[in-house]
Structure 1
Amino acid sequence: MKTWNHALAFMVCCSLATADASAAPPERSKPPVPGPLKPFTIRQPTVFTLKNGLTVWHVARKRAPLVDVLAVIDAGPLHDPPDRPGVAKWTADLLTEGSGGMRAVEFSDAVQSLGAEISSTSEIDHAWISLHVTSARLPAALKLYAQALMKPDFAEAEWGRIRGQLFGEMMYQSQEPQELAQLVAQRANWGSEHRLGTALGGTPRALVKTTPVDLKAFYVARYRPDATTLIVVGDVEQGPLKKLLEAELGGWSASGPPPAAPALRGPPPRTSRALYTVQVPDAPQTVLRVGIPAPAGTLPFTPDAEVMNTLLGASFTSRLNTSLRETHGYSYGAHSRVAASRSGTVFSVMTSVNAPVTAPALAEIFLELERIRTPATDEETVRARNVAALTVPSAFDSGRATANQWALFAAQRLDRARLQQFVDQAQRVDVKALQGAALRLVRPNEAAVIAVGDLAQHGKGVPGLERAIALTVEDLLPGLAEAGAAMGGEG
Structure 2
Amino acid sequence: MTPRHTRLFAASALLALACPKPSVPPADAPALMPFPAAMPEVTPDYTWSPPPPEVVTTVAGSQLWHVHRPGLPLVSVRIILPGGSSVDPESQPGLTAFSDDMLLRGAGDLDAAAFSAALQAEAIALSVVTGRDRTILSLDCTVETLPTAMSMLHRAVTAPRFDPDETERARVQRIQSRKDALDNPRSVASAVGWQEFFGADHPYAHPPMGTAESLITPSAKDLADSWRQRAHPAAARWVVVGDIKVEAARTLIADHFGDWTSKQTAPPSLPPPPGLTAPAARGGRVMVDNPGASQTVLRVWMPGWSASDPHRVAGDLGTVVLGGTFTSRLNALLREEKGYTYGARAGLTNGRGYGTITVSTNV
* TM-score (norm: length of structure 1): 0.63
State whether structure 2 residue 316 is matched by structure 1 residue 306.
yes
Q: Is residue 293–residue 347 contact of structure 1 (8 Å, CA) maintained in 2? A: yes
Structure 1's 273 and 39: CA in aligned 2 closer, same or farther, altered over 3 A?
Answer: same
> For residues 47 and 215 of structure 1, what CA distance do their matches in structure 2 show?
33
Aligned to 2:45: 37
1:280 to 276, 291, 294: 291
**Partner Cα separation in structure 2 for residue 312 and residue 129 of structure 1:** 31
- What is the aligned length? 327
Shift of the alpha carbon at 1:304? Answer: 4.2
Gaps of 5+ in 1: 1-24, 354-491
Percent sequence identity is 29
State the match for 1:379 in structure 2: none
Is contact 2:65–2:238 with CA below 8 Å preserved after alignment? yes
Cα distance in 2 for partners of 1:188, 1:212 equals 32
**Cα drift, residue 166 of structure 1:** 0.2
5 Å matches for 1:219-238?
Answer: 219-238=227-246
In structure 2, the CA distance between the partners of 1:170 and 1:301, relative to structure 1 (3 Å rule), is: farther
Distance 1:90 1:297, change over 3 A: closer
Mapped contact 2:304–2:348 kept (Cα < 8 A): no
2:194 counterpart of 1:186:
yes
Letter in 2 for 1:320: L
Superposed counterparts of 1:259-298, under 5 Å: 259-269=268-278, 270-281=281-292, 283-294=293-304
Number of the residue aligned with 1:315: 325
Shift in Å, 1:75: 2.7
Structure 2 CA distance for partners of 1:94 and 1:267, relative to 1, 3 Å? farther
Q: Which amino acid aligns with 2:336?
A: E
**Structure 1 match to 2:99:** 91
SS in structure 1 at match of 2:104: coil
Q: CA deviation at 1:296?
A: 9.4
Distance change (3 Å), C-alpha of 1:306 and 1:54: closer
Native 8 Å contact 1:67 1:233 kept in 2: yes
| Deviations, residues 305-362 of structure 1 (Å, cap 9, x unaligned) | 2343234222333221112100121111101123212141222111111xxxxxxxxx
Q: What residue is the counterpart of 1:205 in the other structure?
A: 213
Residue 160 (structure 2) pairs with residue 117 (structure 1): no
Q: Is the 8 A contact 1:71 1:228 kept in 2?
A: yes
Q: 2:341 matched to which residue of 1? A: 331
Q: Name structure 2 gaps, 5 residues minimum.
A: 1-33
For residue 105 of structure 1, what is the aligned residue in structure 2? 113
Partner letter of residue 220 of structure 2?
A: P
Q: CA deviation at 1:97?
A: 0.7
| Residue 33 of structure 1, CA deviation | 4.1
Tell me which residue corresponds to 2:171.
Answer: 163
Q: Deviations over 1:273-321 (max 9, x none)?
A: 223222223x332111111235999937534423432342223332211
Moved more, 184-193 or 269-278: 269-278
Aligned-pair Cα RMSD in Å: 2.3
Q: Distance in 2 between matches of 1:296 and 1:127?
A: 18
> Is 1:61 matched with 2:72?
no
Q: Which stretch of structure 1 is more off in the superposition, 242-251 or 290-299?
A: 290-299
